[in-house]
Structures are given as structure tokens and as C-alpha cells.
Chains A and B, each alone.
Chain A
Amino acid sequence: MPGNAPEEQLIRELAEARQRISELEREAARCRVVDKALLESEKKYRELVENANSIILRWTRQGEIVFMNEFGLKFFGYAQEELIGRNVVGTIVPERESTGRDLPTLMEQIRRNPLDFERNLNENMLSSGERVWIDWTNKVVMNGQGQIVEILSIGSDITARKRAEEALQKAYEELEERVRERTADLTAANERLKELDRMKSQFLATMSHELRTPLNSIIGFTGIILQGFAGPINDEQKKQLDMVYASAKHLLSLINDLLDLSRIEAGKLDLEHRPFDFSQVVTEVVEHLVPAAAQKGLTLAMDLHDSSIPMVGDRKRCYQVLLNLVNNGIKFTEKGEVRIVTSVDGPTLKVSVRDTGIGIRPENIGMLFEAFRQVDGSAKRIYEGTGLGLYLCRTLLNLMDGEIGVHSEFGKGSVFTFTLPLVGEGMI
């Protein structure tokens, strides 16, 4: 059908055109779907940025604000047009932080090397002028050529946390200061106490000397009269003068105890290191105290393991310790005996003083060797004494590398035992 050729051509073209229109319509429909998805996506993104509970800021490397989200604007108290195009410094960044830090310099450093400031914490300023602390996370925004065009900064308000930290720091510093003050107070108080202690020791030493000077006269003149050097005396006068003499001697021993205590406390007690025979010390103590024992009807006995007990040390202090213990034994015994027993165990001398006296209650043994204590089981003081004797004994023995202990049965008697090295240190 040659005559139909142009028509057929038209029909064909028409069909093709329809075909293309429907393709285009399909394409358009597809585009509309994509467009709608894009719109949705952008809307979602915008909502996210605008409603995020963080400040979102985009600013140029020159410091100009390009964008701030709704949350940020609200937070800082600006309208969009008040911030866009303005520099961060002078708007949200103050010239100087309250800590004294120069913020424009910091901003310049961030702009120059944003990659070094992925995280930074600085003070910011609201439109009202109020200062706030923001924890910023910075990211760079690049163009197609990989050049940094903008900085994206996301910030959270940490003012409350910062204030709490500051308050804590301040409290800590105040506490430190108070500790320093208290320490200084205590140091000063301690110094005063040490000074008082020195004064006490000095006072004791001086007083002891001053007290002994008149005692020398009392003991001396009493002795002279008792000896009959100043003329004859009758029996009653002698009896009474004996009492004066004994009292003066007792007073002297109390004063000597006090002086020893003050010297020990002041670290001024020096010990002799000389050879001597301990058996003679025992004999002298017994001779000295036999009259006192006899007066109470007591036996004073000694069991020496050897007739000679050679030692090296302070004879006078050994005598003092033994005299004190035997004296105590006589003082606290009403009937029976006081016995001194010696033995040797290797390089150590062991001396026991046993009595058949009142004994010591178990609960009182602990305080026996303390200074200024006297155990008598009741509030009233039956026995005279300073309560220094046993304390001095223990202290002296410890100074001589010895020890003292006690076994006692209440109502039956006590055994005080001390040990001493036969050769004291300082001679070997």
C-alpha cells in the first residue's frame, strides 16, 4: 500500500511519541517519589539539627558564624539575624575567660588548626552577658577539592558541672587550708608542751637540789646530837631525835626519787661501768634494812648462789633497785619474812625478793610499774611513798639492759624478780 506510506509513517511516529510520553510520565512519577523522599529526608535532618539538645554551630575559618541551630540560638539568647555573619569573638565568645585565658587567641588557634581541637572546653557568653561553660566537639567541613571551608562545632552546656567542680575544688582548698592551720596550731602546741616539759624537768632538778641543802643540815645536826658530840642527851630525847633522823632520811630518799625521775625524763641519767661484787650490794642492803625489819618482827634473809658475784655496771643503781624492792617487801609485810634470792643463768644475774605480805590483786599488777601509782586496794593511803619506787626500778633496770617482773598471790605475798647482764654494755 504505497499510497499509505506517509500515514503509516505518522502512525508509527505517533505510537513512538506515546511510548515516550508514557516513559516520561513514568520517569516523572519516579522523580516525584524521589523528590518526596528527599524532602522527607531534608525535613528529618532539619528537625534533628534544629531540635537537637546541643548547640550546633558552623563557622568559617575567618571566625564568621554561618549557622546556628534553634537550640543554640535559644540558649545564647539571639535571633538568627543577630548572629549570622558576625564573628564568634564578641558575640558568643568573650574577650577573656573568667580564669584569665585569652579566648580570641584560642579561637585563632582553632581556626588555624581545627584538626588539633577535636575537643575543647571554654567559657562562652550569653547575649545577657552571663558566662557559661561549653564542651565543644569540632569537625571540619571540606569542599570538593578537600579544602577546609567551615568548622562544625557541637557544644553541650556543662556550666552546672563546672560550677559543682569549682565548688568542690574551693571546698577542698578550704579544707586543705584548715588542715594547714590546725597542723600549725598543733605544732605550736606541741612546742609549748615540750618547753613546759623541759621547764618541769629543770624545776624538779633545781628544787631537788634546793631541798637537799637544808636536809644536809637537818640530818647532819641530828646525827651530831645523837652521837653525843654536842653533849649528853637523855633516852626520851634520843628516841625523838631518832624519829627526826629517820623522817629526814625518808624525805631525802623521796627527793632523790624525784630527782632521778627528772634526770631520766630529761635523758640526763648517766650510768657507771665499773667492776663490783653484787653479793656486797645484797649484804649492804640487808644491813641497812635489818633494823626496819626487826622493828616489825620480820626476818630479813638472803640466799646467795655464791659468796662472790662479780659484775660490771652501776653499783649505786643496783643498790638503789634492790634497796627499793626489799624496802617495799618490808613495808607491805606484817608477819613472816622478806628473802633475797640470787641465781645466775648464763650471762644474766637473776635476783628475787620474796615476801609473805599482803600481795597484789591480779587487776592491780598492770599499773604497778607506772609512775605515781600506789596500789593499796582502797581510796585511803595506808602506806607512805611517792609511788615512784617501782617505776624508777623498772626504768633503771631497763637502762641497764635488765628487766623486772612480779608474781603475786593476794593475801599470801609477792615475788619481785629482776634480771641484769653480769657485764653491762659499755665495758665489752
Chain B
Amino acid sequence: MKKILLVEDNENNRYLERFLLEREGLAVVTATNGAEALEAAAAENPDLIVMDIQMPEMDGYETARRLKGSPGLARIPIVGVSSYAMAGDREKAIGAGFAGYIEKPINPETFGSEIKRFLNMY
């Protein structure tokens, strides 16, 4: 069973995304901020990280940079989730080390399959 680390600061959205990922038959561990994400990534060794970009304190870009800068964790692909993408956000995300990018509000019909597509790509 593939393991996903879900990083999302909003409790309801965390529940929502977890629900959709588990529905796809994925194992999900969660973190609520960037610092927790770094710890969980090291402890759980997930196959993919799904991370909200707008988080208080350490945002998704910074967390991604730190993950990519850590030798044991750099290989884990990260998919960003962001509300309302702007021009240049995609480039910024790729530059920070994100493998892909999903816009909020997420579409419940396609969210799980998109994540699975990323899992199969890496």
C-alpha cells in the first residue's frame, strides 16, 4: 500500500483530502504545518507528499526547499495544493521542488485519481 504524507493546516480540508485519498486505497499520514511535515517525512518515509502551499509560519515553498535540501528526503515527490493559483505560481512551485500542482477548491471527483497519477509517474 502506497503511503501519502498529507500536509494541510485546515482541519476540515485535511479530513476532506484524507477521505478522498483513503478512498483510492492509499495509506495517509498527516501533518498540520511545515515543521511537522519535515519530522513526519523523516519518520514515515512516504511515497508522496501532498502539501498545502499557503500555511502560516513555514509555508509550502519553504518546507519543500528544506525537504529537497535533506539527503534522505529529497527523492520524495511533492504535489502542491493551492487556493487560487496566479500566473507564476506554478513556476514558483516547480522552482521550490514541487513535482506538480493542484488548484483549490479541489474537485472531489478527480482529486484522488490525480494523486494516483503522480504516484505512478514517480
Contact = CB atoms under 8 A, between A and B. Distances in A.
Contacts of A77: none
A250 interface: no
Given A220-B108, A229-B108, A212 B86 contact: no
Nearest to B52: A213
A314 B87 contact: yes
A216 B105 contact: yes
A215 interface: yes
* Chain B interface SS verdict (over half): loop
Given A212-B104, A227-B108, A270-B88, A217 B54 contact: no
Contacts of A208: 84
Nearest to B89: A270
A417 interface: no
B109 A212 contact: no
B19 interface: yes
A217 B19 contact: no
Interface of A: 208-209, 212-217, 219-221, 223-224, 227, 229-230, 252, 256, 259, 263, 269-272, 314, 316
B30 to A, nearest CB: 15
B12 interface: yes
A214 B88 contact: no
Contacts of B12: 214, 217, 221
10 contacts: A209-B54, A209-B83, A213-B13, A213-B83, A216-B104, A223-B107, A223-B109, A227-B108, A252-B105, A263-B86
B117 interface: no
Given A216-B104, A217-B13, A224 B87 contact: no
A298 to B, nearest CB: 26
A215 to B, nearest CB: 6
Nearest to B14: A217
Most B C-beta atoms less than 10 A away, residue of A219, A230, A256, A263: A219
Interface residues of B, number: 20
Interface in B12-40: 12-13, 16-17, 19-20, 23
A217 B23 contact: no
Nearest to B90: A272
Contacts of B20: 220, 224, 229
Nearest to B112: A229
B108 A212 contact: no
A271 B10 contact: no
B109 A270 contact: no
A224 B16 contact: yes
B117 to A, nearest CB: 19
Contacts of B94: none
A216 B16 contact: yes
Most B C-beta atoms less than 10 A away, residue of A217, A272, A316: A217
B106 interface: yes
Contact of A220 (B54, B84, B87, B106): B106
Nearest to B10: A213
A216 B13 contact: yes
A272 B106 CA distance: 22
Given A217-B16, A219-B105, A256-B84, 13 more contacts: A209-B84, A212-B83, A212-B104, A213-B13, A213-B83, A214-B12, A216-B16, A216-B106, A217-B13, A223-B107, A229-B108, A270-B88, A271-B87
